[in-house]
Structure 1
Amino acid sequence: MSQGDFQAQNPYASFGHIAADAPAADRLAFIKRTYIHLALAVYALVVLEFIYFSIFGAAMNDLMPKLLSPVWYLLMFGGFIVSGWVARSWADSTTSVGKQYAGLAVGVLGWSVMLAPLLWIANHYVTPIGTQTYSPIAVAGLITFLVFGALTAAVFLTRVDFSFLAPILAIATAVAFGLILASFIFQGLTSGMWFSAALVVLASGYILYDTSNVLHHYRTTQHVAAALALFSSVALLFWYILRIVIAVSGRR
C-alpha cells in the first residue's frame, strides 16, 4: 500500500505519531509545546479575571448576586457544559489548526465565566495562616500548583499509563454531575466539605490520566488538545480547593 493510500484510509496518519512511539526529539518537542500552551491558557484565564474584576468591578458587584441565584446559576452551568463540549470538539480537530486554537480559547473563556462568581465570593474572605492573613485565591492557587506539580512529577518519573482510570473517572464524573444538578433542587447537597474533597480527588485523577495521555496516547501534533485537557483538570482542581479554603476562612 502506498503512503497516499494509507493516509486516505486513515485520516489520523498525517496527524503526527503517537508520542510514545515518536522519536525522542519529537516527543520532547510535543511535551514542551503542551505545557507552554497550558501555561498560556492559565495566564489568559488570569488576565480575563483581572479584566472582569478590575475594569468591570462595579458592574460585577451588581451582577454577581443575581448570577448566584439558582435559576441563573443553572443557566450558566448549562452554558458552561455546552462550551466545554464545543471546546473539546474543536481542539481535537485533525483538519484545522485554527479550529484547535479556537477550541482552547472557548475552553478558557468558559472557565473564566464559571470561576468568576466563586472568585467574587472568595474576595469577601481572608485565610489565616499563623499570624498573617492571605487571600483565599492566592492560597488555593499555591496549593493547586503544588498538587499539580506533584501529580505531574509522579507520572513523568514512574511512566505509568493511567489510561485504566478512564471508566472510573467517567462513572465518578457522572455521579458528581448528577449531584450537582440535584443540588439546584435540594439546596446544600454539594456544598459540604466532603463533596469538595471528593471532587479534589476526582480532579487529581484526571490530572494523572491527562498527563499519562501526554506521554502515551496523544499524537505529537495534538498539543492544543492535550493542553486543553490539562487546563480543564487544573481549573477543576483549583475550583474545589478554593471552595475548601473559603470554608476554613473568615469573612473580611
Structure 2
Amino acid sequence: MDNQFPQNTSNKILIESLSDVERAAFYRKTYAHVAGGVLTFILFEYLLLQSETIVEFMLSMTEGYKWLLMLGGFMLATRYAESLAMKTTDKNTQYLGYGIYIFFQALIFVPLIFIAAFYMESGGEILYQAAIVTLGLFTGLSAVVLMTKSDFSFLKTGLTIGFFIAIGLIIAGTIFGFSLGLWFSVAMCLLAGGSILYQTSNLVKTYGVDDYIPAALGLFASLMLLFWYVLSIFMSRD
C-alpha cells in the first residue's frame, strides 16, 4: 500500500501543519478530484461498452488463466499510473497518471458491468443500488475520520496482510477452479472499508498542500475496490 503515497515528503508542507481553513481547502480539492474521477470513470465505461470488440475481448479474458493474465496486466498498468501521479509535482503528469489509472479501472470493470447490465433481469436496478450503497459507505467512512480526526494508521499491517491473502485466494480459485463466493466479497468490502479509513486518516500526515491529485487517486482506488465487491454481492442475489 505504500505505493499509494508520495515518496518524498521532506520538502513538502504537510497538511497537518496547516490551519483548519487551509486543511478544509485541501479536502475540498481532493474530494472534488475523487468526484471528477468517478464521472470520468462513468464516461470511460460508457464508451468502452459501446465497442463490441472490447466487450468480447474482456469477457473472453475472464476465463481460466486468462483472468490471472488480465489481473497481472491491470496491476502493472495501474502501478505505472500511480508512479506518474505520486512521484512528481508536475500537475500535467499527475493528471495523466490519474487519467490512465481511471481508464484501466473502467476497462477491468467492463465484464462485470456488462453482465450486470445486459444479462441480469434487474441489471439497471442492481447497478444503481450498488452505486448508491458504495457512495454512501465511502462518504460515511470518510466523514467519520474527518469529523472525529481519528488515527487509523494502525490498520496498515492488517490491510497489507489482508490484501496478500486476497490475492492468494484469487489465484488459487482461478487455478483450482473453485468459486470464492459471497463471504469473500463481504470480506473484501470490509477490507476496502478499512483502506478508506486508513487512507483518509493519513491525508494530513502524508500529503503536501499541492498533493490533492495523488490523494484523490488513493481514495479513488479504494472506492473502486469497494464498488467491485458491493456490486458482486448485489449480483449474487439476483
TM-score exceeds 0.5: yes
Q: CA deviation at 1:167?
A: 0.8
The code of the aligned residue for 2:183 comes to W
**What residue is the counterpart of 1:182 in the other structure?**
172
Contact 1:126/1:136 (<8 A) preserved: no
Calculate the TM-score normalised by the size of structure 1. 0.85
**What residue is the counterpart of 2:129 in the other structure?**
139
1:137-170 per-position Cα deviation (integer Å, ceiling 9, x unaligned)? 1111011011111111111121101111111100
The code of the aligned residue for 1:173 comes to F
Contact 1:144/1:237 (<8 A) preserved: yes
- Residue 193 to residue 92, structure 1, CA distance change in 2 (3 Å): same
* Residue 240 (structure 1) aligned to one of 223, 229, 233: 229
2:91 aligned with 1:101: no
Contact 2:9/2:206 (<8 A) preserved: no
1:70-104 per-position Cα deviation (integer Å, ceiling 9, x unaligned)? 23322211111111211222211244222222221
2:120 aligned with 1:125: yes
When the two structures are aligned, how many residues end up with a matched partner?
230
**What residue is the counterpart of 2:4 in the other structure?**
none
2:68 aligned with 1:79: no
* Residue 29 (structure 2) aligned to one of 33, 36, 42: 33
* Residue 43 (structure 1) aligned to one of 39, 44, 50: 39
**What residue is the counterpart of 2:183 in the other structure?**
194
Calculate the TM-score normalised by the size of structure 2. 0.90
Indicate the structure with greater helix content.
Answer: 2
* Residue 61 (structure 2) aligned to one of 56, 67, 71: 67
Q: CA deviation at 1:64?
A: 4.2
The code of the aligned residue for 1:229 comes to G
Q: CA deviation at 1:52?
A: 1.4
2:19 aligned with 1:23: yes
Structure 2 distance, partners of 1:106, 1:185, is 29
Where structure 2 has 5 or more consecutive residues not aligned to the other structure, the ranges are 1-7
Structure 1 distance, partners of 2:84, 2:188, is 26
RMSD of the TM alignment (CA)? Answer: 1.8
1:16-63 per-position Cα deviation (integer Å, ceiling 9, x unaligned)? x2111113332222111101110111100000111112x32x335533
Contact 1:161/1:216 (<8 A) preserved: no
User: What secondary structure is seen at the aligned counterpart in 2 of 1:176?
Assistant: helix
The code of the aligned residue for 1:75 comes to L
* Stretch deviating more after TM superposition (84-93 or 41-50): 84-93
- Residue 34 to residue 103, structure 1, CA distance change in 2 (3 Å): same
The code of the aligned residue for 1:206 comes to S
Structure 2 distance, partners of 1:12, 1:239, is 32
Where structure 1 has 5 or more consecutive residues not aligned to the other structure, the ranges are 1-10, 128-132
1:102-127 per-position Cα deviation (integer Å, ceiling 9, x unaligned)? 22112101111111111111121144
Q: CA deviation at 1:215?
A: 3.6
Contact 2:55/2:110 (<8 A) preserved: no
User: What secondary structure is seen at the aligned counterpart in 2 of 1:135?
Assistant: helix
- Identity, % of aligned pairs? 33
2:211 aligned with 1:217: no
> Highest CA radius of gyration, 1 or 2?
1
Structure 2 distance, partners of 1:152, 1:140, is 18
